[in-house]
Amino acid sequence: MEFHGSLQIIAEIGLGLAGFSGLIVALRKDVGPLTAVQKYRLQILLSLAFGAMFLSFLPELLFSFGTDPQDVWRLSSACLSIYSTLFLIWWIRESLYIKDANPELFNWFAFSRMVAGHVVIIFMQLSSVFSIFDFAVDATYVVALIWYLLHSVQQFTRMLFVQSKMSDSASD
C-alpha cells in the first residue's frame, strides 16, 4: 500500500499535538476552569489532530479487509470529506460566536485562509470520490491529512501566544 509510512507519521504527529495540548492546558498560568476561548481552541486542535490520526488508519483498515486499492482511497476520501464538512460547519458556527464575544482575539485573515484551505480539501476529496479530475487519489488524501495537522499547529500556536487581554490583566 502506498503512503503507509506517511500515514503512520501523520498519526504520530496528530497524537503528539494532542498530547502537547494537554501539557499546555495543565501548565497554564490561571487556575480554574478553561475559558470559552481556551475550550474553543482546544476543541479545534483535538478535532483536527485526532481526526488526522484516526483517518490515517482508515486506508490501512480498509485495505486489510481486502478492499480493492482504488476503492480504499475513494472510501477513505468519502469519509474524510464528510468529517471535513461537519468540522467546517461546526467550526464556522463556533468561530462566529467567539468573534462576537472576543473580537480582539479574532483574526479574519487567518480564519479566511483556514476556511479556504478546508474548502479546497473538501473539493479535492470529493473530486477523488467521484473521479472528477485525474488526481492521484492517495496523494490528495495524504495532503488533506497534512492540512489537518497544519491547522492543528496553528491552533497550538494560538493557544501559546495569543491570549485575551482580560485574562492577562486578571493574572497580574
In the numeric block, the cell 479574532 is attached to 106
Q: Which three cell numbers stand for residue 126?
A: 470529493
Share of the chain above pLDDT 70, in %: 87
List the chain domain ranges: 4-26+35-164
Report which of 84, 85, 14, 80 is spatially closest to residue 49, judged by C-alpha positions. Answer: 14
Nearest to 140 by CA among 87, 76, 85: 76
Cell numbers representing residue 53 in the block: 490520526
* H or E element, residue 124: helix 108-130
Q: How do residues 107-130 score in pLDDT, each as one tens digit?
A: 899 999 999 999 999 999 999 999
pLDDT 10s digits, 14-54: 888 887 777 676 666 667 788 888 889 899 999 999 999 99
Predicted confidence (pLDDT) per residue in 77-100, tens digit: 999 999 999 999 999 999 999 999
Global pTM reads 0.86
Angle, to 10 degrees, between the axis of helix 137-161 and the axis of helix 108-130? 160
